[in-house]
Chain A
Amino acid sequence: AQSVAQPEDQVNVAEGNPLTVKCTYSVSGNPYLFWYVQYPNRGLQFLLKYITGDNLVKGSYGFEAEFNKSQTSFHLKKPSALVSDSALYFCAVRDSGVNQFYFGTGTSLTVIP
Chain B
Amino acid sequence: GAGVSQSPSNKVTEKGKDVELRCDPISGHTALYWYRQRLGQGLEFLIYFQGNSAPDKSGLPSDRFSAERTGESVSTLTIQRTQQEDSAVYLCASSFLTANTEAFFGQGTRLTVV
- Chain A residues in contact with chain B, CB under 8 A? 30, 32, 34, 36, 42-46, 49, 51, 90, 92, 94-97, 99-101, 103-106
Contacts and interface: CB of A to CB of B under 8 A. Distances in A.
A94 B106 CA distance: 19
Given A43-B91, A51-B100, A99-B99, A106 B42 contact: yes
B99 A44 contact: no
B79 interface: no
Contacts of A32: 99-100
Interface string B9-46: 00000000000000000000001010100000111010
Interface residues of B, number: 24
Interface string B83-103: 000000001010101011011
A49 B4 CA distance: 19
A99 B97 contact: yes
Contacts of A100: 33, 45, 48, 56
Interface of B: 4, 31, 33, 35, 41-43, 45, 48, 50, 56, 91, 93, 95, 97, 99-100, 102-108
B100 A49 contact: yes
B107 A43 contact: yes
Given A43-B106, A44-B105, A99 B100 contact: no
Contacts of A45: 105
